[in-house]
Structure 1
Amino acid sequence: MDLQLAGKTALVTGGTKGIGRAVVEALLAEGASVAFCARTADDVEKAEAELGSAAAGTAVDVADGAALAAWVAASAERFGRVDVAVANVSALAIGPGEDNWKAGFEVDLMHTVRLCEAALPHLLRTQGSIVAISSVSGREIDFAKDAYGTMKAAVVHYVAGLALEHAAAGVRANCVSPGNTYFPGGVWQGIEGGNPDLFATALGMNPTGRMARAEEIAYAVTMLASPRASFITGTNLVVDGALTRGVQL
């Protein structure tokens, strides 16, 4: 199925590895141009060389609101339009403590807010879409219940508000909430080596017998970003292999 993304431009934060990198690759495969950012310049340079000329990478600390807004403006100028904004970066601030709360607020929540605020003038012109990456930890109490889970729940609430506010103008806004996702260099690979008991417990909770792959989450993001999803807005799409048990009402 043609997702009607050819010729469109997408912004993706945290696009050098894991889910973000898979999202960039999926959008490129559909014919979109992609501006992506990440904090580490070397990672950005390497990814840009691997992804080809339709992708443009920039080193940006998304907790720096001015730098994030400047990246959005520069990307819009470079490509001439913005059709999709994907807020993917997370501080992965798991556990209690004020530092984790501050990091989760500035990165998970406020980077989403700032990206959307900077991108919205462009998205209103193109009747584009927003997709934010939340987490199953935002909808149920688990080991990441403190700063991480709370901020991911706040992201869902914020994006649902955007959907309502901008629906009449043709801008859509949705969340994707992944379950445990395993990829090289990711948090679960680290837990597998550093805390095998936790890894085994998490793996055992999923009835599929495995964790998600990054490209499986990227499919959900790309589908929601597509103009074919023209009447899907304000939703939180859970992609977890039936990991969570709660009924989403």
Structure 2
Amino acid sequence: MDLHLKGKNAVILGGTRGIGRAIADTLAAEGANVAVCARNAGQVTETVKALEGLGVKATGASVDITDGEGLKAWIASAGKELGGIDILVSNAGAMAQGNAPDAWKQNFELDVLGAVNAFEAAEPFLTRAAKASGDAAFVIITSISAAVADRGDSYGPMKASLIHMAKGLARQHAANGLRVNTVSPGMVYFEGGVWHMVETNQPDFFKQALARNPTGRCATAQEIANAAVFLASPASSYTTGSNLIVDGAISNRVNF
């Protein structure tokens, strides 16, 4: 299936490891030019080199996503360097757990305001791209935790707010060809990721959590990336305002 991504320009927040890196690699493999940002400068350099090795234009920078003005300046710079922005992916997350005020603050400033500021900076580029080609896309990586609650935790509500925001943006920009969707993963396992650390430090809890999943396993970062890249592509040009759950059926809710 041709996703019609060749020559598109994509910007990814948190694009050097895990899901974000898999999204960047997949977009580049489909022929899209890619800009990535993350905190770790060394990881950014390595990622950009690897993406260039796939035969596309790539750029990146070490960016503190909680620095709103710095983030917006980088996105504007990346858009100019790439020659436009057709796709924006907000993948960065604080992953702060618990109900303490600091956890709420971390998740809000990185996950929520990061997406808000990124879209503010990218929207003029995305609108121009949609006008020129008929399609542009903003994809936000959220979590199935947005839809389920076992205790008063900060993580799920912050992810839920992103899904709500995405629906509003989707309706607001639909007539202009600018689509907005979210992907809500369940348990995702990759080296250095949250569930890898849980397996290492809390093996009994990891086994219990895994046993709740009917598939009997975690998702790979690539499986989440496949969903995100499809939603970002013109192949899904009539899909907007959707929250795609990719959780291996670990949640028992009916997704009307």
Say whether the fold is shared (TM-score over 0.5).
yes
1:37-76 matches, cutoff 5 A:
37-52=37-52, 54-76=57-79
Report the secondary structure of 1:95's partner residue: coil
Shift of 1:50: 2.4
Q: Map of 1:110-149 to 2, 5 A cutoff?
A: 110-127=113-130, 128-142=136-150, 146-149=153-156
Select which of 154, 158, 167 maps to 2:165.
158
Q: Could you tell me which residue of structure 2 aligns to residue 247 of structure 1?
A: 254
Q: Which residue of 2 aligns with 1:79?
A: 82
CA deviations 1:161-180 (Å, max 9, x no partner) are: 10010001110000000010
* Secondary structure in 1 matching 2:103: helix
Shift of 1:40: 1.1
Asked if structure 1 preserves the Cα contact closer than 8 Å seen for 2:57 and 2:82, the reply is no
1:169 maps to 2:176:
yes
State the Cα RMSD in Å. 1.0
2:166 & 2:75 partners in 1: Cα distance? 18
SS at match of 2:71: helix
Cα distance, 1:55 vs. partner? 2.0
Q: Is 2:10 the partner of 1:17?
A: no
TM-fit CA distance, 1:219: 0.3
Aligned residues: 248
1:229 and 2:236 are equivalent in the alignment: yes
Measure, in 2, the Cα distance between the counterparts of 1:85 and 1:191.
30
Moved more, 193-202 or 3-12: 193-202
Alpha-carbon distance, 1:147 to partner: 1.1
Q: How much does 1:202 deviate? A: 1.2
Match of residue 92 from structure 1:
95
Which residue pairs with 2:133 in the alignment?
none
Gaps of 5+ in 2: 131-135
Q: Which secondary structure state, in structure 2, belongs to the residue aligned with residue 34 of structure 1?
A: strand
Give the whole-Å Cα distance in 2 for the aligned partners of 1:195 and 1:90.
22
CA distance in 1, matches of 2:220, 2:210: 13
Runs of 4+ in 1 over 2 A off after TM superposition: none
Question: Matches of 2:182 and 2:150 in 1, distance apart?
Answer: 19
Output the TM-score relative to the length of structure 1: 0.97
Q: Distance in 2 between matches of 1:51 and 1:230?
A: 25
Q: Sequence identity, in percent? A: 48
Query: What amino acid maps onto 1:43 in structure 2?
Result: Q
- Aligned ranges 1:138-217 → 2 under 5 Å: 138-142=146-150, 146-217=153-224
Q: Distance in 1 between matches of 2:160 and 2:245?
A: 13
Q: Residue 96 of structure 1: SS of its match in structure 2?
A: coil
The alignment partner of 2:145 has SS state of helix
Counterpart of 2:141, as a letter, is I
Partner of 1:8: 8
Distance 2:50 2:233 in 1: 24
SS at match of 1:237: strand
Deviations 1:136-168 (CA, angstroms, capped at 9, x unpaired): 00011146x511111000000011110010001
CA distance in 2, matches of 1:157, 1:118: 20
- Which amino acid is 1:81 matched to? G
Distance (whole Å) between structure 2 residues aligned to residue 173 and residue 89 of structure 1: 17
Alignment partner of 1:92: what SS? coil
Flag structure 1 segments of 5+ consecutive residues without an equivalent: none
